[in-house]
A and B are shown apart, each in its own frame.
Chain A
Amino acid sequence: MPQDNHHIFADGKLSRSEDTLRIDTLAGEMKHLPVESVGTLYLHGQIDFNTRTLGLLNDYGTTVHVFGWNDYYKGSYLPKRQHQSGNTVVEQVRAYDDQDRRMPIARSMIQASMHNMRSNLKYYDTRDHEFGDAIERIEQQQELVADIADIQELRGAEATARKAYYGCFDDVLRDPFELSRREYNPPSNETNALISFLNAMVYTTCVSAIRKTALDPTIGYVHEPGDRRFTLSLDIADIFKPILADRVLFRLVNRRQLNLDDFERELEGCLLNEGGRLTVLEAYEETLDETVAHPRLNRNVSYKTLVQTDVYSLKKHILTGEPYRPTERWW
């Protein structure tokens, strides 16, 4: 079972204290974090730590994601693998290298991503919004996907669908929030800043889930492994962004849990300030813990577990040929 995420916002020092973690903040506070209950640690502040601390995190298989200035994702400290499986990596690469194996995986990933975008629009379509055209455009792209034999074209179809999807955001979002157009590096307005931050969180959630298996995070099926980031995480993240990031965004804005004071504008960009990030993370973590009844597993699973089982399903497909069923919102 996935364990909890812990976020540290304070500046200070993280250390090993006996067999657990201890954080001493610059403000003079001290806290113990029971290491066995920390699945993933997020460091948002300026934190000092040493190799002894990393050794402890390693023993417990705890992943650490590090965020830098203004909470840009910097990178991750991944514990030593618990599962070494050469067999898995060999099959993962073979599946990437063989068009007949890669394309069906990539197609199902894109299909799932489009399905989840469309599902969000349908939800708002039944609530006084007119998204019929956009839904239709996404459906057209979904139909095309079945016949696409080229990975570039597949990504093109995904981009077309995503454009139609983002085109509806302004209508969903309550004023003064607007998307206008998706921009990053740096995000150009509040909505772009929110999307970027939430997408980064989804990405790290996927990194942690992949790390729990023997899969190599750098070899993806939709994205090319030449990218600097973990391309398999990007693939899986695209499936979950509509479920985990966009719904949280809509909720936070429309319930007025966020306002323009939660952002800071500088260097022609716009970013969440610390108060805003806390609000967003709280909502994001709550969403990860939300549960739905899983039809095939016959029990309730959290959204976070869905990310994990999605990765398991991919791994099973790669090793056995049994169908990969990426997560398509059924609830």
Chain B
Amino acid sequence: MTDELSYSDSERIDNLIERERSPHREPSVRITGLMVQYYHVCRRELWFMSRGIDIDRGAANIRRGSYVDEHSYRNKRRSFSIDGRISLDLLDDGDVMEVKVSSALEEPPRMQLLYYLWYLDRIHEVEKSGVLAYPKERSRESIALTEDTALEVEETLRGIIDTVEADSPPDLEKKPYCHSCLYQDICWL
């Protein structure tokens, strides 16, 4: 797969990859899977999170998410943390699995999983395919890194770097899911 994929010709992405590969150099922005997800949910949320602006971790939907993650398919998958950057679950058959409570938002978890695949491929030269699982809905979806999706990931990464490096958070924007966001008390005050 790797040989057939052609990636974008972007200096910033090349720079990121070079620094991620080198044992002693840190990229200017350490991009985690959660950041990729947040970028596609709400850039303002991403900015707050990147600045250590805290939320109440005891909130009900965080606990629910952790519970579903901890109790689903546990006999079939194992968790790995890679470079402190991404933490993913590998299934027995070698696929990368991402478990979510609900499929209400499609794009954010899809991009998170694609980032894991991109990271494995581009930084560690390991080819994997992915499975997005919604145990409560008893459904799964296969996700693969292709030329198109790899370009999407890289566009996301550039967007994340721009967002996080900005001095102030992106402007307020009312979204349909603001009411269930953990940052709403910070955003709208």
Contact = CB atoms under 8 A, between A and B. Distances in A.
Contact of B169 (A1, A83, A315, A320): A320
B186 interface: yes
A320 B168 contact: yes
Contact of B53 (A82, A299, A316, A321): A316
Contacts of B189: 296-297, 309, 312-313, 316, 325
A85 interface: yes
A182 interface: no
Interface string A9-26: 000000000000000000
Contact of A316 (B59, B179, B186): B186
Most chain A CB within a 10 A radius of its CB, from B52, B169, B185? B185
Interface string B146-181: 000000000000000000000011000000000100
A88 B52 contact: yes
Interface residues of A, number: 26
B25 interface: no
A319 B54 contact: no
Nearest to A297: B188
Nearest to B188: A296
A322 interface: yes
Contacts of B58: 61
B54 A297 contact: no
Interface in A289-320: 296-299, 308-309, 312-313, 315-316, 319-320
Q: Which 6 A-B pairs have the closest CB atoms?
A: A85-B52, A83-B54, A313-B189, A296-B188, A87-B52, A312-B186
Interface of A: 1, 61, 82-83, 85-88, 212-214, 296-299, 308-309, 312-313, 315-316, 319-322, 325
28 contacts: A82-B54, A82-B57, A83-B52, A85-B54, A88-B52, A212-B56, A297-B184, A297-B185, A297-B188, A297-B189, A299-B179, A308-B185, A309-B185, A309-B189, A312-B185, A312-B186, A313-B186, A313-B189, A315-B186, A316-B53, A316-B186, A316-B189, A319-B53, A320-B51, A320-B168, A320-B169, A322-B168, A325-B189
